[in-house]
A and B are shown apart, each in its own frame.
Chain A
């Protein structure tokens, strides 16, 4: 059976997980126009190779990020959302501050 490492529940069978689309940074809702929204919602990189993706552990409804190779299907690494944000170096607090201006 193919296993995946859930950051909350440890190793579980792949059928317990649901794919939630490739990870991408959301556009700032204060500045976004229709075209940017449609691009964000519909257009995809659809990359062949290691890709950051949203996954959900269904029994616990737990969302996290996995880096998966879309050519081989191998799951390379999984992250909690907090770990992922830190890894990308996104400063959530100052970003929220910008939105308020």
Chain B
């Protein structure tokens, strides 16, 4: 019999399957807002624009499929324990939205605020932690410096590395940090955006940006040209390439970042644990897989290939932290292309092209900012004013030498 089971279930139980996303429509000649990049950031921007602003016809243009770039390649960490007031406020707003995102989108993004623990193995790291804890609490973000005994209680499976030359001496406990399911974040935003009338065009590549007299007029795509009122670029991993099409350069160098997961294991690890001295962080996903992240390649590349060297480095670090994983098997290893900026902060806001807005420089910290990027970029597009929350991340900060240094709170400590 050729009738599929799906058909049977739908008729038997009166369920009608509703596609989450309509199929890609045909291109119209004109759009008021064109968002290039159908990852979390682009889709969130489309959703916030459609839901909270009146801007006319919106298109999201995705070269491949939605959420298939860095949105689906990150290690899902959500936290706000940064060091500069600008970054703490910004990521804390993101955390606030994440907490209620499932309700907002009517789609389970599986946010789980289980807390994030960063380990100190040197005195200088402890000094940095004290500063971060004070700066965080000053702005209402929960972060405390904890001792070895507390670490033991928070995470019994963790080795304090007493026999190593750098034992754990303390930690930074960020009880409000957590994780969310990254694909669900993209799908949730996409579904609601589509219901609000946003056109999502997958399998459509932007091949050129038409700029005349300092304003963007249109886009050439693999499916034909369109005229646009304004453009938002949110293409992590290809930010420089697209900006170069629009005629300006970015302070970005693109490095692959590799991560891996083990086979699913019975739950043994509740908080997300990061060891900056080992350039390694470990968490257990709701499926039980142990996510081991974040090794940047030693030189830039536009590639998502993985290397044996990085597998060895990441796994040896993970085993120092969790010797109990010695029998676990690696399920898969992957890479994403990270747009690294000199100060480890994003590049957001206006660009040298008048009606062309950028959401770039997301290096290794983009997923946690997804909702707040949508909210602030939508506000920027609708009003042509950079919101207070992102003003210090503008591209012009490099001209005035006002960088926002987040290297210490970002590098290898997601």
Contact = CB atoms under 8 A, between A and B. Distances in A.
A61 B241 CA distance: 32
Interface residues of B, number: 21
Choose among A46, A71, A72 the residue with the greatest number of B CB atoms under 10 Å from its CB: A46
B241 A48 contact: yes
Contacts of B302: 48, 70-71
14 contacts: A15-B298, A18-B298, A22-B253, A38-B399, A42-B398, A43-B398, A44-B249, A44-B253, A45-B240, A46-B240, A46-B252, A72-B303, A73-B301, A73-B303
Nearest to B297: A73
A39 B399 CA distance: 7
A73 B256 CA distance: 11
Interface in B86-103: none
Contact of B254 (A15, A19, A46): A46
Given A19-B299, A46-B241, A46-B254, 15 more contacts: A21-B253, A22-B253, A34-B399, A34-B401, A38-B401, A43-B249, A43-B398, A44-B252, A45-B244, A46-B240, A46-B300, A48-B241, A48-B302, A70-B300, A71-B303
Nearest to A51: B300
Interface string B244-266: 10000111111000000000000
Interface string B224-254: 0000000000000000110010000111111
B361 to A, nearest CB: 11
B342 interface: yes
A25 interface: no
Q: How large is the interface on A (under 10, 10 to 19, 20 to 34, 35 or more residues)?
A: 20 to 34
A35 interface: yes
Nearest to A71: B302
Contacts of A18: 298
A9 B14 CA distance: 74
Please report whether the interface of chain B is mostly helix, strand, loop or mixed according to DSSP. Answer: loop
Please report whether the interface of chain A is mostly helix, strand, loop or mixed according to DSSP. Answer: mixed
Contacts of A43: 249-251, 398
A52 B283 CA distance: 39
Interface in A15-57: 15, 18-19, 21-22, 34-35, 38-39, 42-48
Nearest to A43: B249
Choose among A35, A39, A42, A45 the residue with the greatest number of B CB atoms under 10 Å from its CB: A42
B2 to A, nearest CB: 45
A48 B242 CA distance: 11
Contacts of B249: 39, 43-46
Contacts of B301: 70-71, 73
Given A34-B399, A48-B241, A42 B299 contact: no
Nearest to B302: A48
A73 B305 CA distance: 10
A21 B254 CA distance: 11
A72 B252 CA distance: 19
A42 B240 contact: no
A42 B240 CA distance: 13
Interface in B293-349: 298-303, 305, 309, 342
Contacts of B305: 73
Interface in A70-96: 70-73
A73 B299 CA distance: 9
A19 B298 contact: yes
Contacts of A45: 240, 244, 249
Contacts of A38: 398-399, 401
